[in-house]
Structure 1
Amino acid sequence: MTALSKYQRLEASALWRDSISGQRRDVIVSLGDASLVITDKNERPLTHWSLAAVQRVNPGAMPAVFHPDGDPDETLELGESETEMVEAIEKLRQVIERRRPKPGRLRIISFLTILTFFAALMVFWMPGAVRDYTLRVLPDVTEQEIGNGLLQELERFTGRACTSSLSTRALDQLSNRLFDRPVSIAILREGVESVRALPGNVIVVSHTLVEDYDTPDVLAGYLLQLNLDNEPRDMLQQMLETAGFMPTFRLLTTGQLPQATLADFAKGLLNNPAAVPEDTLLITAFYEQGVAITPYALARDITGQDTAHLLSAEITRPSSARPVLNDTLWVGLQGICGG
């Protein structure tokens, strides 16, 4: 101990009492190896106190009175002439106290570390974990409710979806013709550039795809662009990421999203086209469903330059295309929005 070496030769006269009923005796006090050594005038050892256990009865007052920790009846009194020894004892007590382990401080540091760890979990890990879990366990019926909710919010900007008795039959037949699952198709007057797949197998379609073309193959081609296995789920994941933790947690626990979440996300879908898959995937879908490719390819690019690969695939197709809708249903569908 560096501080101790400074006072190794220091001695002082003091009064020592071994108990509350004992008489005070003149003694010599010296600093030993991390201890106070108390001897009589003939230098016979009487006792020694560990510096780590020395307590002062009257801090700042003189004469200074000390006792060993846990035994206040045994005292050592140093007078005003022994201020150097008093200062040495106080200095060494301060050094020892600073080096003493602080259980309370350790507990506080441990608590703050644990609190920081859990706060980091809540901020960085928990939202993603809750979102991923919600996507895994979300029932199909809830996804459909979300898709219908988005459609209702879209209709606030686009107007009500077009409908008629004949067009309903046409859309049902078109759905059965192209998809391996029940799909709800809504024709909107505006706000949709071509087609979008919403959660729950809800598809919104621009009215131009039924009003501006002579054949239902164009509409069928745009519908075949959609990947119903991935796009609606990707959209739902994007919606939850945008909404944040609390709406996601509400969806997990109640099966409902806040209306504001649906409204904000629906606004972002306006005139935001879906991604077009690679030509190879599209051609495979056209072949499997027996849909003519040329009308769709020319609808995307009237010159045919950007869709040359699709047009050439029509020539080399392994089997002939089949009608998507009969003329009666197609004519009825073309008039769905009164066009």
Structure 2
Amino acid sequence: MAESTRYALLESDGRYFDGLSSRPREVILGFRERSLIIRTMRDEVLTHWPLASLRAVSARHDRPVQIVPNLESDERLVVSDETMIEAITTVCPDLYHRPVDHRGMRRAIVWGLGAVGAVLAMVFVLIPALAGQLALMIPPERERALGDALVGQLTQILDLGGSTSRFCIEAEGREALDRMAARLGGGARLPYPLRLDVLDHGMINAVALPGGRILVFRGLIDSAATPEEVAGVLAHEIGHAIHRDPTVVTLRAAGTAGLLGLLIGDIFGASAIAAASDAALNASYQREAEARADEVALQLLAEAGLPSRPFAQFFERLEAQHGSTPLALRYFASHPELAERAGRAAAADTIGDGAFTPALSDRDWIALKGICSTRG
């Protein structure tokens, strides 16, 4: 008799990440003889995970526990119920047989900074409220270092702790992306160089990080029908970078410890790497920030002689194909009022009905589509 039969009647709540979106879905967990069953709150079966291949990507004593169906999957399950955690650990003896993140050091640093909590408590509310002004006080070199640290943390999150590199580095594809960015020209307005990377991940997303770093996901490139669609998304993220919105979001997520860490150069302590990495993937900017980024994007497209209509068409097509639920499209989840903004982009009509030079040549577009053929 399988060990899991002891827990045949056991159920608990959990949070399920489907690998396409960073937004969780509330689910019900239960056992069958050889699998963990994940169901919706309406009791509809979402998926079966074989017990033999389950692995934890969090340390043994960390709570909640993060579990993946196997080490190659982008799916993730977060379990908080102690009884369910004990049951899964019992029926899956190999659950923790893999490298885990070294989170103890990060927790120790957090506790160390907690010793000065009495002083910092005075500004816990003030700093998030003034994040926009405070972002301008951070030296550019430290802002860049924060962006670099977040890239490392985000790749670990998206790889679920694995060691496989996710950067796409095919040479002609890289050159094509750089040419697109150069044509948009937004980097000239930044206090640091604009740096672009492509991650080999299926999420339909692009993320602006502190210090002028922008991550474009393979899923976004794969989903785009024309280079002008990618250019529109890239121009929008450049708009966020120009206004230093990623740093503002990071400061709000990190709080006082994050600001003090950035000001004194403690990039890897309680200066918010844990909180900021989550904020980067879930960057729900305020309405004014989105409007500013859109304004910059439309200006960059106009200056580059590129149409704004493909920017709107990209999201209209994806919404028609996938729906507008948070689990359908990562970009929809973090960019609210998308239909309204797409309408503005279409109405902007940056070049009218005139002819234009494509954002990329056919050869460059093919190269960009194949940028993940080489990873490093």
1:183 corresponds to which of 189, 194, 198 = 194
Q: Would the aligned equivalents of 1:194 and 1:205 in 2 still touch at CA under 8 Å? A: yes
| SS across alignment from 1:185 | strand
Provide the residue aligned with 1:254 in structure 2: 265
Provide the residue aligned with 1:222 in structure 2: 233
Structure 1 residue 273, shift from structure 2 partner: 6.3
Provide the residue aligned with 2:177 in structure 1: 171
Q: Would the aligned equivalents of 2:168 and 2:197 in 1 still touch at CA under 8 Å? A: yes
For this pair of structures, how many residues does the alignment match? 221
- For 1:249 and 1:309, locate their aligned partners in 2 and report how far apart those are by CA, in whole Å: 39
Q: Would the aligned equivalents of 2:312 and 2:345 in 1 still touch at CA under 8 Å? A: yes
1:135 aligns with 2:150: no
Q: Would the aligned equivalents of 1:191 and 1:270 in 2 still touch at CA under 8 Å? A: no
- 135-144 vs 328-337, greater mean Cα deviation: 135-144
1:296 aligns with 2:311: yes
- For 2:262 and 2:301, locate their aligned partners in 1 and report how far apart those are by CA, in whole Å: 37
- For 2:359 and 2:234, locate their aligned partners in 1 and report how far apart those are by CA, in whole Å: 12
TM-score (norm 2): 0.49
Bigger RCO of structures 1 and 2 (CA < 8 A, at least 6 apart) = 2
- For 1:337 and 1:259, locate their aligned partners in 2 and report how far apart those are by CA, in whole Å: 34
- For 1:199 and 1:249, locate their aligned partners in 2 and report how far apart those are by CA, in whole Å: 16
How does 1:260-271 map onto structure 2 within 5 Å?
A: 261-270=272-281
Q: 2:184 corresponds to which letter in structure 1?
A: L
Q: Would the aligned equivalents of 2:209 and 2:246 in 1 still touch at CA under 8 Å? A: yes
1:330 aligns with 2:365: yes
Structure 1 residue 128, shift from structure 2 partner: 4.1
| SS across alignment from 2:272 | helix
> Quick one: structure 1 residues 283 and 175, their matched pair in 2 at CA, closer, same or farther if it must change by over 3 Å?
closer
| SS across alignment from 1:175 | helix
- 137-146 vs 190-199, greater mean Cα deviation: 190-199
1:317 aligns with 2:352: yes
- For 1:253 and 1:180, locate their aligned partners in 2 and report how far apart those are by CA, in whole Å: 29
Structure 1 residue 331, shift from structure 2 partner: 0.9
> Quick one: structure 1 residues 180 and 270, their matched pair in 2 at CA, closer, same or farther if it must change by over 3 Å?
closer
- For 2:183 and 2:172, locate their aligned partners in 1 and report how far apart those are by CA, in whole Å: 17
> Quick one: structure 1 residues 143 and 244, their matched pair in 2 at CA, closer, same or farther if it must change by over 3 Å?
same
Provide the residue aligned with 1:87 in structure 2: none
Q: 2:150 corresponds to which letter in structure 1?
A: L
Structure 2: runs of 5+ lacking an equivalent: 1-116, 160-165, 188-192, 321-338
Q: Would the aligned equivalents of 1:287 and 1:317 in 2 still touch at CA under 8 Å? A: no
| SS across alignment from 2:237 | coil
**Structure index of larger Rg:** 1
Provide the residue aligned with 2:86 in structure 1: none
- For 1:136 and 1:248, locate their aligned partners in 2 and report how far apart those are by CA, in whole Å: 12
Provide the residue aligned with 1:202 in structure 2: 213
Structure 1 residue 321, shift from structure 2 partner: 2.9
Provide the residue aligned with 1:211 in structure 2: 222
> Quick one: structure 1 residues 248 and 296, their matched pair in 2 at CA, closer, same or farther if it must change by over 3 Å?
closer
Provide the residue aligned with 1:277 in structure 2: 291
Provide the residue aligned with 2:244 in structure 1: 233
2:302 corresponds to which of 287, 309, 333 = 287
1:71-113 Cα offsets, whole Å, 9 max, x none, are xxxxxxxxxxxxxxxxxxxxxxxxxxxxxxxxxxxxxxxxxxx
Structure 1 residue 149, shift from structure 2 partner: 1.2
TM-score (norm 1): 0.54
1:300-333 Cα offsets, whole Å, 9 max, x none, are 1137x86455445449728543221222222111
- For 1:286 and 1:324, locate their aligned partners in 2 and report how far apart those are by CA, in whole Å: 10
Q: 2:154 corresponds to which letter in structure 1?
A: L
